[in-house]
Amino acid sequence: MADELAPWVAVHPFRELLRALHLRALDAVGRRREALDSYRELRKRMVDELGIEPGPEVVAAHQAILEQAPVRVRTNLPASVSALVGRDDARDTVRRLLETSRLVTLTGPGGVGKTALALETARQLEFPDGCWWVEWAAVERDAPEAVLVDVVLAALDIRSGSLDDVLRSRLLVLDNCEHVIESAAHLIARLLAVAPDVRVLATSREPLGIAGERVWAVPPLPESSAMELFVARATAAAPEFSLNADDEPTLAAICQRLEALRWRWSWPPLGCGPWGSPSWPPGWIRFSPWPTENGTCRRGSGRFGR
């Protein structure tokens, strides 16, 4: 109803009953900010152009919206528990990718830092209708799309109206897509099609494989940052810990070995058959700790590495 009334409001901006109806309709589907903006715009125009204040119907509709509840929080991003070490360049890269692509997927094996990077990137972004964090880790494997939709609606705190109606101009950060990849891919493709101002930052061990996806394989932390993180975590666990110059080569070796371990044990490329089988891409084990795909990648295609 809100969208049906909008063209009439545009043609008859000073019809106050119509405007009051529109304000209430917008509010009813969770578009409260638009309703408040619409009232502000009407009031300004009436004062500027007609020299009068809005009448009682519009004022009552506006007042009812204000009295309902506090203005909706513009984000539900979780507070940070510890500072992100390094990753300034990675954050800039992801931010730039989001400027040109409506869907950016951060890929890489578990523990490489996809979630941490997505969160810190989203914290620095501003969208008219906010940045919203949707966590799919707790959803059971291969859950159907309807379950994912419920999780998104709950994260956005939307109790009425369909998802398509209320998305508007938001950034959705969809964390942990890998275990619901088929449903997630289908849902995201649908959201991008119906909500042209929505952008999605997804984290997943594998690409979603949908049109327009920009895949960015999160690289391992550079050694100096890995060492810094090690020291930060060690100090948190044992406050008496301190790193002296003699320990540095040992710590560097530990970081290198941890990296090498992840290299060996990292997530195998899907669709490439069992570990080490001939269908694995050449160089996977020797040169590439995880996919370094730079563009759209179809799931299961085996096009990994360079």
| Least distance from Mg ion to the Cβ atom of residue 290, Å | 14
212 contributes a contact to ligand ADP by CB under 6 A: no
* Burial label, 289 (beta-carbon count in 10 A; 0-12, 13-18, 19+): buried
- Closest listed residue to residue 184, CA positions, set 145, 219, 158: 145
| Least distance from ligand ADP to the Cβ atom of residue 256, Å | 17
| Least distance from ligand ADP to the Cβ atom of residue 85, Å | 4
* Burial label, 96 (beta-carbon count in 10 A; 0-12, 13-18, 19+): exposed
> Using an 8 Å Cβ cutoff, are 127 and 169 in contact?
yes
Give the DSSP letter string of 63-129: HHHHHHSSPPPSB-PPPPSSPPPS-HHHHHHHHHHHHH-SEEEEE-STTSSHHHHHHHHHHT---TT
User: Binding ligand ADP by CB under 6 A: which of 2, 26, 35, 112?
Assistant: 112
User: Binding ligand ADP by CB under 6 A: which of 36, 66, 76, 86?
Assistant: 86
Side-chain-side CA neighbours of 76 within 13 Å: the count stands at 16
229 contributes a contact to ligand ADP by CB under 6 A: yes
Handedness of CA 76, 78, 80, 85 (dihedral sign): negative
By beta-carbon proximity to Mg ion, the closer residue of 32 and 114 is 114
115 contributes a contact to Mg ion by CB under 5 A: yes
User: Binding ligand ADP by CB under 6 A: which of 110, 128, 276, 295?
Assistant: 110
User: Binding ligand ADP by CB under 6 A: which of 19, 87, 214, 262?
Assistant: 87
User: Binding ligand ADP by CB under 6 A: which of 84, 156, 167, 192?
Assistant: 84
User: Binding ligand ADP by CB under 6 A: which of 41, 50, 71, 111?
Assistant: 111
Q: Residue 151: in which H helix or E strand, if any?
A: helix 145-155
| Least distance from Mg ion to the Cβ atom of residue 173, Å | 11
Stretch that binds Mg ion, among 17-25, 73-81, 111-119, 219-227 (CB under 5 A): 111-119
Q: Where on the chain is the footprint of Mg ion (CB under 5 A)?
A: 114-115
Q: Where on the chain is the footprint of ligand ADP (CB under 6 A)?
A: 84-87, 108, 110-116, 203, 221, 229
